[in-house]
Amino acid sequence: MGLSEIRVSKIALEPLVSVVIPVYQSPSFIVHALNSVLAQTFSHYEIIVVNDGSPDTEILERLLKPYTATVRYIMQENRGPGAARNAAILEARGEYVAFLDSDDFWLPHHLQNQVNLLQADRSLSLVHSNNLWVEGDVPIRKAFRANGNSKHPVTFEALLAEECQIVTSSVVARRQAILDTGLFDVTFRRCEDFDLWLRMSYRGLRMDYDPGVQIYYRRNSSGLSADPEAMMHAQIAVYEKVASQPISLAHREIIARRIAACQARLDVEIAKKSLLAREYDGALQAARRAVTAVNSWKLQVAILGVKYFPHLFGGTYRAYHRLVRYRRRAT
């Protein structure tokens, strides 16, 4: 029996971990993601790929054909990443669930490291790790640097305040803990993961963080997270959902600050779009709203520039925007 047959046998008969990969409009990355799973030093897993009604299903299924022996394939109508992950979780056979978005990929030690943490401390329900951002295949930087911008252990308060941020593709969690929390909220198309981590933590489930880099997180211009305005609206909706629960006054104050910060970032995005569209009054109004919540010298400069030299400032910003897009395409 060859090594690949041994791996298939373990995947099929005794999975400890169910790897969940939702796919929508990213067939060009799925092979890289799958190969990163197959390259894991830990082999007691199954792979579940959920096609969330992707318009390029024909291409996706052609790419998946060589992996027929190792992948369980589910197809559903487009309902969003939360619903796709839920479908896989309900079908999963592993004690643990490991999430991997189809445009991300893992380093070979990822599953072994995270399973070791969960098995060493049975009180843990979820672990996540540091990651390296990439554009195309070019590394940009670590997501969480050594200055402590992702705290551990993970707490409800740290999640609320965004002092701890969990990248979904780095998560390995106990399947039963996710089921007991009610799975992903399918009413959210974005920030559905943030909502689940908050609900798990609110219930008192313990989580922890490994500062080592274990995954590559791809900044994908076609992904759901690539729309900053939609992301801010979704994040505000998650905070409002949390605020509807019986929480402390201190937690409500954190939520109020975070909603104000999200609204400020939303106004910054509106100001940028207005500058690109040469709508200078709209840009000025949005920048003024943002600066009331965020005391930023850049915003102050932008306000002065748009107020007194709108055409010059707008032209300079549009040139900068074109340069950034050119550099991204070049990489």
* pLDDT (0 to 100) of residue 148: 47
CA–CA separation, 156 and 158 (whole Å): 6
- The H or E element spanning position 274 is helix 249-276
Q: Which of 189, 223, 257 is the last residue of a domain?
A: 223
* pLDDT (0 to 100) of residue 2: 33
Q: Are residues 79 and 194 in the same domain?
A: yes
Q: What share of the chain is helix, strand, coil (3-state, %, to 5)?
A: 55, 20, 30
Tell me if the bond preceding 153 is cis, omega within 30° of 0. yes
Q: Domain range spanning residue 43?
A: 3-223
* pLDDT (0 to 100) of residue 9: 38
Contact criterion met (CB below 8 Å) for 265 and 228: yes
Give pLDDT tens digits for 258-271. Answer: 999 999 999 999 99
Take residue 313 and report the two structure tokens written for it: 């400032």
User: What is the Cβ-side half-sphere exposure of residue 237, based on CA atoms within 13 angstroms?
Assistant: 14
For the chain, the domain total comes to: 2
Q: Are residues 107 and 54 in the same domain?
A: yes
Give pLDDT tens digits for 145-188. Answer: 544 456 667 999 999 999 999 999 999 999 999 999 999 999 99
Closest alpha carbon to 259 in 282, 240, 231, 283: 240
For the entire predicted model, the pTM comes to: 0.86
Instruction: List the chain residues with pLDDT less than 50.
Output: 1-10, 12, 146-148
Q: Are residues 239 and 180 in the same domain?
A: no
Take residue 286 and report the two structure tokens written for it: 């949005």
* pLDDT (0 to 100) of residue 296: 86
Q: Are residues 271 and 206 in the same domain?
A: no
Q: Hey, is 272 helix, strand or coil?
A: helix
CA–CA separation, 108 and 188 (whole Å): 31
Q: Are residues 197 and 100 in the same domain?
A: yes
* pLDDT (0 to 100) of residue 171: 98
